[in-house]
Amino acid sequence: MKRGLSMLCSIIMLLIVSACVKGAEEDLYKVVYKSEEVDIEVEDKQNTEYSIAIIPKLINIPYFNAVEEGALKAGKDLGVHVIYKGPRTAEPSQQIQIINEFIEGGEVDVIAVSANDPEKLVPVLKKAKQHNIRVITWDADTMPEGREFFINMVHPETLGRHLMDTLAWNTGEEGEFAIMTGANSAANLNEWLKWIKVQHKEYYPSMSLVEVAATDDDPHKAYTIAKRLIADYPNLKGIIGNSSVGPPAAAQAVQEAGKNGEIAVVGLSPPNDMNEYLKNDAAQVVTLWSPKKLGYLTVALSRNILSNYLPYDNQDIPGVGKIRMMNDMVIMGEPIDFVKENVDQYDF
Amino acid sequence: MIFKKFRDSKLMSKLMLTYILLTVIPISVLGYIAYSQYTKSIEDEVGKYIPQLLEQANNNIDNQINDFKNLPDAVYNSSQVIEILRKDAYQTKSTLLQDEFIVNSYLSRTYINNGNNDILGVFVLSKGRMFKSAKMNYKGFNKDSFPMIYGDDVDLQGRVEIILPSQTDITFENNVPFILFMRELRDYENQETLGAVFIAIQLSFLDEALKSLDKDHISSIWIADQNGKNVYHTNSDLIGESDENYSNYPNINGSFRTTQLAQNQLISRNELSATDWTLFHSVALQDLTKETDMVRNGTIIVFIIFVLLSTIISIFLAWNVSSPLNKLTRLMKRVEQGNFNVDLPINKNDEIGILANSFNSMIQKINQLIKKNYQIELRQKDAELYALQSQINPHFMYNTLETIGYAVDEEDKETVTKMVTLLGKMLRYSLNNKEKLVLISQELDHINDYLTIQKFRFEDRVDFHFDEQIDTSIFYMPKFVMQPIIENSIKYGLEKLEPTLISISIKKTNNDELHIRIEDNGPGIEKEVLTKLNHSLGQNPMAKRSSNFGLINVHARIAMIYGSAYGIRVESEKEKGTVVIIKIPASTNREIG
């Protein structure tokens, strides 16, 4: 009896002891359930190794200079190498040449281009794509097959209609007006032009469009055209500058003609160029977005696609704010109107 | 060693141990496995369930935090405020104060009075100015004491930084726990920094989100930042403290348990996606299995009762088997010591009962056999003694010697010689005790010697003759069977005046029996006496009775040797004579049996 008990005890002890030994070998923590491993973030590539090429329509005009400023700031903020290089004139062929240089150089990861021609650039952009370069467009789009997405500053309909409205406010909704656009081939300008005409047709029957003149974004040419328009159309009540070169040229021409306030000048232009004209009534309203912001956004989105992080609607881009996304078009925000009261607030 | 011990231990211990092992081990193993599986499944269940709850809570918290992160955006909604923030310099103090008033009231309208109770205060630092609006009194956070890194030069690239109370000098009334959301205010259009906005959020929003996780108040819930510092803890004393184990925790969204603590914990964790924080939930395993512990304790009690019962049953069963065996052993020892009056009183039909019965009948048989041999021996001795007595009977001796004396007187030398020779032969036969069985012819010789001596003495008054119908020299019979009968015949025959004639005939029957018939013409036996005599003969030959009664002695000896079917029969008729028939088997075997 006693012996039997002691034997039983020893067997139980053996079980307990073996359990203890097993326990000691285990880890401090035993995973019971795992829904997912917490990612320990792996930097895909050092930011500084990325090179992003930003190609404007042309360089050395204030608008694109402001873009460059924003782009370079973004490059600094995000730690990527930004190469800002564009043609001296708004020629598609020069842009093609620059793009080819980038492809041959083989150092850039993204090409973001503001296209001077929606179709002519497509082959070279496709070629870039074959060389593992991501391609997006900004400011002015190409055909969709040439790029991944397009960064638009504002919604073209909103902008086009708004430009027409700003002119109408300042002419009493009547009289003759002319439009100075950039290059005839620029897709974005043509889109805005379309909506200006639609708005005109819909709401302002008393106003008449007398001419649409192309400046090719050449300030000198634009100035010449403005002078010609004022001379050609004595009843001219207003000029819409459809590209950033237009309003300063038109305002200068109006001022020189001594017709401040008589011929309304509105359109797209950076406020710095127009500061003086706005204050002396040579121009009434200029509309634009922040080209710095555009440059910043372009670099930021370029950086994101390198991490395969595509833009989406309502995305909050640090340093830019919320963006909208419509199909494959990013819309940066709403247009800003610059008038003499607020023009000092802006620095571009 | 153990097994040798076990093998040598008592049957009862062995049986008991076996029974107990057979019941206790399977039950305890089964119980242990069932209990551990059950608690493990609870653990798994809870370990799976809590992370889901945490995830839900986290989603809520994430949403809240994302909402809070978006709060600074409201500043952009007012172009007037942005315009003020864009200003660098003031001509007069009053314009500065006016701007401050405009911004402060905008902040109050937007953040403090909009019904969001979680916002304790909003502070905007911009170009050396500070705009503020707070729900309750606070200390600290003036632009001089506030560290420069949170000042104008902040460059968060649009991210929202969360600042813990320990990183600032700001405190609110009643030490309300809070966190600060800091965000750079950026002039998107000019791509310049306007300043920074700080929004103090009361931590009570976490209470709300986490309330549902700890309904029973048995668990701890805390949120740790990326350094393991507690942003939030259900025990508010621990807010701001660091968890030293933080870096050791497995990097998973899920559950794990500690294994080394006295009170092991089941810890679940889930990362917040809006921040670098991690939500933890910890509950003692003990608390989880509290309810099952009742079941476990009940099971243990039942188990103990069961073990006790099975022990009792096993004792009973083992006793049941071993006690008859013990009894048997004791009885056998007694038998060994010579006591055959034993009885194993077991009235069962199982193997033990059969064994007991066999034992009983065996002992009985042994006892009978011993008794029988003993009696045979005794009778034999009696018979020998009787024969010896009758030969050295002083009367017989005297008579014989007297007869011899007469013969000497008459100088009948021949008679003397013969008689002395006969007497010698008789004495030798009597003294030769070695064999129990003798050839019939030897016994007949002896009778012949005896009768011849009697004939010398009584001359014509005694006569006899033999009638042997078989070869008496091949069959055996017990010694001294006939002499007592013949003595009787002579003794009673001489009482009559007529000569006594004794005739002895031996024949073999068809069923292999020998009938030795001793017939005399004596006075016979009275009917009553004969009846009594025959009755005595019919009784158990083993029964003890007077050895003086020679016939009965003879009968008993024959019956003992050959069985009760054999013995002597007496027929008699008054005044006509007596016939005594000895019935024995026709045996050519000189040994008994």
Residue B320 in any domain: the answer is: no
Q: Tell me: do B62 and B179 sit in the same domain.
A: yes
Q: Is there a contact between B83 and A40 if contact means CB atoms under 8 Å apart?
A: no
Closest by Cα among A208, A46, A182, A33 to A115: A182
Among the candidates B266, B286, B306, a domain finishes at B286
Q: CATH number for the domain including B479?
A: 3.30.565.10
| Domain A47-153+291-333 identical in fold to domain A156-288 | yes
Q: For chain A, which residues make up each domain, given as ranges? A: 47-153+291-333, 156-288
Mean pLDDT of B505-515: 90
Q: Is there a contact between A31 and B159 if contact means CB atoms under 8 Å apart?
A: no
Contact of B558 with B582, CB cutoff 8 Å: yes
A238-242, B158-162, B231-235, B307-311, range with greatest mean pLDDT: A238-242
Q: What is chain A's mean pLDDT, rounded?
A: 86
Q: Which residue has the higher pLDDT, A347 or B432?
A: A347
Q: What is the pLDDT of residue A43?
A: 46
Nearest to B20 among A8, A23, A33 (CB): A8
Q: Tell me: do B58 and B177 sit in the same domain.
A: yes
pLDDT band at residue A14 under the 50/70/90 scheme: low
Collapsed DSSP state (helix, strand, coil) of residue B442: helix
Strand order in the sheet with A329-331: A81-84, A51-55, A110-113, A134-138, A150-152, A329-331, A324-326
Q: What is the pLDDT of residues A192-215, one digit of tens each?
A: 999 999 999 999 999 999 999 999
Q: Which residue has the higher pLDDT, B347 or B333?
A: B333
Strand order in the sheet with B230-233: A29-37, B252-258, B265-271, B278-284, B219-224, B230-233
Residue B66 in any domain: the answer is: yes
Nearest CA in chain A to B54: A35
Range of the domain at B187: 52-286
pLDDT higher than 80, residue B523: yes
Q: Does A26 touch chain B (CB under 8 A)?
A: yes
% of chain B beyond a pLDDT of 90: 7
Q: Which residue has the higher pLDDT, B389 or B524?
A: B524
Residue B39 in any domain: the answer is: no
Q: CATH number for the domain including B126?
A: 3.30.450.20
Place of tokens 């914990």: B265
Residue B325 in any domain: the answer is: no
Mean pLDDT of A94-123: 91
Please state the domain count of chain B.
Answer: 2
Q: What is the pLDDT of residue A98?
A: 92
Those of residues 492-531 in B touching chain A at CB distance below 8 A are none
Q: Which residues of B touch A322 (CB under 8 A)?
A: 73
pLDDT band at residue B193 under the 50/70/90 scheme: confident
Least confident piece of the model among A64-73, A243-252, B124-133: B124-133
Q: Does B191 touch chain A (CB under 8 A)?
A: yes
Q: Does B276 touch chain A (CB under 8 A)?
A: no
Least confident piece of the model among A23-27, A333-337, B38-42: A23-27
Residues contacting residue B549 through CB under 8 Å, at least 6 positions apart: B536
Q: Tell me: do B278 and B373 sit in the same domain.
A: no
Contact of B330 with B309, CB cutoff 8 Å: no
Q: Is there a contact between B254 and A321 if contact means CB atoms under 8 Å apart?
A: no
Pairing between β-strand A110-113 and β-strand A134-138 as defined by DSSP bridges: parallel
For residue B123, what is the enclosing H or E element?
strand B119-126
The span from the CA of A37 to the CA of A31, in Å, is 12
Closest by Cα among A170, A171, A95, A164 to A135: A95
Mean pLDDT of A296-306: 92
Residue B262 in any domain: the answer is: yes
ipTM of the complex: 0.74
Q: Does B586 touch chain A (CB under 8 A)?
A: no
- CATH architecture of the domain A47-153+291-333 equals 3-Layer(aba) Sandwich (3.40)
Count CB-CB contacts under 10 A for residue A207.
20
Name the minimum distance, in Å, from the CA of A237 to any CA of chain B. Answer: 31
Mean pLDDT of B301-326: 84
Q: Is there a contact between A7 and B2 if contact means CB atoms under 8 Å apart?
A: yes
Q: Tell me: do B278 and B381 sit in the same domain.
A: no
pLDDT band at residue B593 under the 50/70/90 scheme: low
Q: What is the pLDDT of residue A170?
A: 92
Nearest to B20 among A4, A29, A317 (CB): A4
Among the candidates B262, B286, B310, a domain finishes at B286
Which string of DSSP letters, residue by residue, matches A129-195? Answer: HHTT-EEEEESS---GGG-S-EEESS-HHHHHHHHHHHHHHHHTT-EEEEEEES-TT-HHHHHHHHH
Q: What is the pLDDT of residue A20?
A: 42
Q: Which residues of B touch A32 (CB under 8 A)?
A: 43-44, 47-48, 254-257, 266
pLDDT band at residue B544 under the 50/70/90 scheme: low
Q: Is there a contact between A347 and B192 if contact means CB atoms under 8 Å apart?
A: yes
Q: Tell me: do B80 and B217 sit in the same domain.
A: yes
Among the candidates B286, B306, B331, a domain finishes at B286
Which string of DSSP letters, residue by residue, matches A90-135? Answer: --HHHHHHHHHHHHHHT--SEEEE--S-TTTTHHHHHHHHHTT-EE
| CATH class of this structure's domain A156-288 | alpha beta
Q: Does B254 touch chain A (CB under 8 A)?
A: yes
Q: Tell me: do B412 and B272 sit in the same domain.
A: no
